[in-house]
């Protein structure tokens, strides 16, 4: 897929009366590519990708419970609790989930393990 700037250049050159061959030579791309983008200008719009599942997804409900019931927002403690349950992800994604706006709050003691 070409960059949108290149596609815009293809259309600009075409409006200036340049032939498909001249456009292809100037931009160093094939004539079929030039024809494709002239025939289908919407081809430059990328299709959205489906969201990928996170390693944290199966544990989000449990984490929310710990935050609400135990008032535990210390990610090191939550991480230590998750590992025996089979969590294989990192602590960074856990921090992003527990502290989405990096707000302050109480932390639970390490003795709650």
| Number of structural domains in the chain | 2
Collapse the DSSP code of 113 into the 3-class scheme (helix H, G, I; strand E, B; otherwise coil) and give the result.
coil
Q: Does the predicted model carry a pTM greater than 0.95?
A: no
Q: Are 64 and 39 members of one domain?
A: no
Task: Yes or no: say if 72 and 108 are a contact pair by the CB < 8 Å rule.
Answer: yes
Q: Decide if 64 is inside a domain.
A: yes
51: which 2 tokens? 């969201």
What per-residue confidence (pLDDT) applies to 112?
43
Q: Decide if 91 is inside a domain.
A: yes
Q: Decide if 49 is inside a domain.
A: no
Task: Yes or no: say if 59 and 35 are a contact pair by the CB < 8 Å rule.
Answer: no
Q: Are 61 and 88 members of one domain?
A: yes
Q: Are 73 and 105 members of one domain?
A: yes
Integer Cα distance of 28 and 78 in angstroms: 55
Q: Decide if 50 is inside a domain.
A: no
Run of H or E including 35: helix 31-39
Q: Are 33 and 66 members of one domain?
A: no
Integer Cα distance of 70 and 73 in angstroms: 9
Position 7 confidence tier, pLDDT thresholds 50, 70, 90 = confident
Integer Cα distance of 48 and 77 in angstroms: 36
Position 44 confidence tier, pLDDT thresholds 50, 70, 90 = low
| pLDDT digit string, tens, across residues 52-109 | 999 999 999 999 999 999 888 899 999 999 999 999 999 999 999 998 865 444 444 4
Q: Are 25 and 67 members of one domain?
A: no
- Its domain, for residue 20, covers 4-44
End-to-end CA distance of the chain: 51
């Amino acid at each position: 897929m070409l960059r949108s700037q290149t596609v815009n250049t293809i259309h600009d050159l075409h409006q200036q009366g340049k032939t498909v061959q001249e456009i292809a030579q100037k931009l160093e791309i094939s004539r079929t590519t030039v024809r494709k983008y002239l025939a289908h200008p919407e081809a430059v719009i990328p299709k959205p990708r489906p969201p990928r599942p996170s390693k944290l997804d199966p544990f989000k409900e449990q984490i929310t419970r710990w935050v609400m019931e135990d008032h535990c927002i210390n990610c090191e403690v939550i991480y230590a609790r998750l590992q025996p349950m089979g969590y294989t992800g990192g602590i960074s994604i856990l921090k992003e989930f527990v502290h989405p706006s990096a707000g302050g709050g109480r932390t639970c003691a390490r003795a709650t393990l």
